Chains A and B, each alone.
Chain A
Amino acid sequence: MDYLLHVLVLFFLYAILTTSLDLLVGHSGLLSIAHAGLYGIGAYAAAIVSTHFDISFLGSVAIAMLAGVLVSFCISLPSRGLKGDYFAVLTFALQMVLFHLLNGWDRLTGGPLGISGIPAPAVFGAELDTLAETTLLFASCAGVVFALSRNVATSPFGRVLHALREDEGLTQSLGKHTYRVTIQVCAMSGAFAALAGALYSHYITYVDPTGFTVVESILILAMVILGGPGTILGPIIGAISLVSLAEALRFIGIPASEAASLRQIVYGLALIAIVFLRPRGLARA
């Protein structure tokens, strides 16, 4: 039972990550490969403030989300006018820089040794001891993120995002401030990714840089794309599919040493296949 709850916890974490990335990729047409970096910023922010400054769980989550917003400005503020794949390359570069910061700034992050001893989640002083309670917490967070995202997607703001996705020039000519909108949606996406990071930290109670590499970013991106970007349920499906695929492949009798590479190949092929199915763009209204 615990194992299934653990898989559920992972699923909720990834659901938050995919939903927040989809705000960028699916709804706004902004291909980002820096999501794992934002995830990591949230995780480390929570880890640092709760271990060094003894901040409570709720406090550390809030601070982590703030950190996510601030770092997202590094992506959105300078990237005015950057199109499609150039934007992607920018996020790629920033992802690498973020990883090196996490891995290299020993004083702050512990470097490769990471930070251990992060306290378990505690809501208003009551510590969550059982896995069931933690799962419930994560489920609620995922639910909130999902609801908020859906709200955004169907709101007037969401319509501007969709217009941005289709044609930025036209949107601008219609009087919409695309730059400002981009900054806002990046901030939201970053905050949610950081939320997932904070939850992750408190759950595993140990963070190290290896969980926040560009490979992880590509994984999250793959989940979003496979599930169907720009749709409401798409990110959820993507998260379910790849989380359970990862576990399921373990059980099928492939020699363990090959399984990891085979799984990656499956992701790669799936990515290519999806592009064949939706060549015109990542989203479809």
Chain B
Amino acid sequence: MMQVIANGIVAGAGYALFALGFGLVHSTGRFFHMAHGGSYVVGAYLTYVLVSKVGLSSLVGGCGGVLGGAVLGAMMEIAVFRPLRRRNASREGMFLAALGLMVCIQNGVSLVFGDQPVVLRTASVEPGMLFLGARITNVQVCIVATCIAAAASAWIGLQKTNLGMRIRAVASSHELATVYGLRPEAILLLVMVCASALGSLAGILSGFDTDLTPSMGFYAQLMGVAASIVGGIGSVRGSLLGGFMVGLVQHLGVWKLPTQWQEAIVFALVAVCLCIRARGFLRTNWGTKD
């Protein structure tokens, strides 16, 4: 039982980390960043190349991957999202463009690396540490720790710093922010870079935990969106809550049911949340943060 809960928490941490970046972009940029999974998969593969082919250590390779993912995010912002925003694109338009980007990135990875899985494992496969009756590996501890650390830094950054205040201002209203002398476009770029860094971090950790395939980004995207919807998009608290809820539902849900319904349960949950939210749609604040 403890093992099931531990599994759920680890999975949830991964989803939460993804949802964190996703939510950041949503509240400032006002759209569903369906290509967030792109940073996830590119970061992971870049780390793979750096560690396995170039021979760098996991830490350095990981940093390289994070950097790569962040750069990709910046490129997406500058080449696609910013111009679309300038042309007054609608939310659906941005959604579709992001979806298109995701398709391109995933297939690009597939072209370069092929569809078969690659491994980013550096140590031998050993039983994990025993903790309160559950076994968890070092990488898994890392995932949970990173998630908490990222969430904490994000929260502190947004609430306590000047920059954070500016970001929240932009999230609240682009127009007003401009009036007050802030430059929304620069802020949005910064947010995108940070969010993509988080996204690729999630991908890299997942790569160490299991393995890498081109479709890992898409899967993470599905779960990340689920986590955001369930927990509430756009707040740090929401991302954490959503992520852990999805992780736990996924694992506890199949405690008694056949495991093949793992994913279906999550999506059913997402659908239900959306429908419930729809009722209170007009009353909820979608744009502002904590």
| Interface residue ranges, A against B (CB under 8 Å) | 29, 31, 78-86, 88-90, 92-94, 96-97, 100-101, 104, 218, 221, 225, 258, 261-262, 264-265, 267-272, 274-276, 278-282
Please determine whether A85 and B91 come into contact, CB atoms closer than 8 angstroms: yes
| B90 proximal to A (CB < 8 A) | yes
Residues of A contacting B: mostly: helix
Enumerate B225-255 residues with CB–CB distance to A below 8 Å.
Answer: 225-226, 229
- Chain B 19-31: CB-based contact to A (< 8 A → 1; otherwise 0): 0000000000001
Residues of B within 8 A of A29 (CB): 92
- The one of B264, B279, B281 that contacts A104, using a Cβ cutoff of 8 Å: B264
**How distant is the Cα of A221 from the Cα of B95 in the complex, in angstroms?**
13
Q: A242 CB to closest chain B CB, in angstroms?
A: 13
With A78-B278, A271-B97 as given contacts, are A276 and B84 in contact (CB-CB < 8 Å)?
yes
Quick one: which of B107, B225, B268 has the most chain A CB within 10 A?
Answer: B107
| B123 proximal to A (CB < 8 A) | no
| B108 proximal to A (CB < 8 A) | yes
A80-B278, A93-B274, A96-B222 known; 12 new pairs, CB 8 Å cut-off, are A79-B275, A92-B225, A93-B267, A97-B268, A100-B260, A262-B111, A268-B101, A275-B89, A275-B100, A276-B84, A279-B88, A279-B90
Residues of B within 8 A of A88 (CB): 32, 92, 95
With A104-B264, A261-B107, A264-B107 as given contacts, are A275 and B88 in contact (CB-CB < 8 Å)?
no
With A80-B278, A94-B267, A269-B104 as given contacts, are A282 and B92 in contact (CB-CB < 8 Å)?
yes
Please determine whether B278 and A81 come into contact, CB atoms closer than 8 angstroms: yes
Q: A241 CB to closest chain B CB, in angstroms?
A: 16
- The one of B32, B110, B260, B261 that contacts A261, using a Cβ cutoff of 8 Å: B110
Q: Which residue of B lies closest to A80 (CB)?
A: B278
Q: What are 24 A-B pairs at a CB distance below 8 A? A: A84-B90, A84-B95, A85-B32, A85-B92, A86-B277, A89-B225, A89-B229, A89-B270, A90-B270, A92-B222, A93-B267, A94-B271, A100-B267, A104-B261, A225-B96, A264-B103, A264-B106, A267-B100, A268-B102, A268-B104, A272-B97, A275-B96, A280-B88, A282-B93
| B83 proximal to A (CB < 8 A) | yes
Q: A83 CB to closest chain B CB, in angstroms?
A: 7
Residues of A within 8 A of B270 (CB): 89-90, 93
Please determine whether B92 and A269 come into contact, CB atoms closer than 8 angstroms: no
Q: A182 CB to closest chain B CB, in angstroms?
A: 12
Please determine whether A271 and B229 come into contact, CB atoms closer than 8 angstroms: no
Please determine whether A93 and B226 come into contact, CB atoms closer than 8 angstroms: yes
Residues of B within 8 A of A94 (CB): 267, 271
| B282 proximal to A (CB < 8 A) | yes
| B177 proximal to A (CB < 8 A) | no
Please determine whether B261 and A271 come into contact, CB atoms closer than 8 angstroms: no
Q: Which residue of A lies closest to B214 (CB)?
A: A261
Q: B68 CB to closest chain A CB, in angstroms?
A: 19
| B80 proximal to A (CB < 8 A) | yes
Q: Could you say which interface size class chain B belongs to?
A: 35 or more
Q: A186 CB to closest chain B CB, in angstroms?
A: 14
Residues of A within 8 A of B211 (CB): none
**How distant is the Cα of A7 from the Cα of B213 in the complex, in angstroms?**
33
Counting from the closest, the 3 A-B pairs by CB-CB distance are A271-B100, A268-B103, A279-B89
| B185 proximal to A (CB < 8 A) | no
Please determine whether B267 and A96 come into contact, CB atoms closer than 8 angstroms: yes
Please determine whether A272 and B92 come into contact, CB atoms closer than 8 angstroms: no
- Chain B 156-195: CB-based contact to A (< 8 A → 1; otherwise 0): 0000000000000000000000000000000000000000
With A90-B274, A264-B107 as given contacts, are A84 and B264 in contact (CB-CB < 8 Å)?
no
**How distant is the Cα of A93 from the Cα of B107 in the complex, in angstroms?**
23
| B87 proximal to A (CB < 8 A) | yes
Please determine whether A84 and B91 come into contact, CB atoms closer than 8 angstroms: yes
Please determine whether B279 and A96 come into contact, CB atoms closer than 8 angstroms: no
**How distant is the Cα of A79 from the Cα of B111 in the complex, in angstroms?**
39
**How distant is the Cα of A272 from the Cα of B100 in the complex, in angstroms?**
6
**How distant is the Cα of A82 from the Cα of B277 in the complex, in angstroms?**
8
Enumerate B104-129 residues with CB–CB distance to A below 8 Å.
Answer: 104, 106-108, 110-111
Residues of A within 8 A of B281 (CB): 81-83, 86
Residues of A within 8 A of B267 (CB): 93-94, 96-97, 100
Please determine whether A268 and B229 come into contact, CB atoms closer than 8 angstroms: no
Q: A169 CB to closest chain B CB, in angstroms?
A: 10
Please determine whether B271 and A97 come into contact, CB atoms closer than 8 angstroms: yes
Please determine whether A85 and B95 come into contact, CB atoms closer than 8 angstroms: yes
Please determine whether A265 and B103 come into contact, CB atoms closer than 8 angstroms: yes
Residues of B within 8 A of A85 (CB): 31-32, 91-92, 95
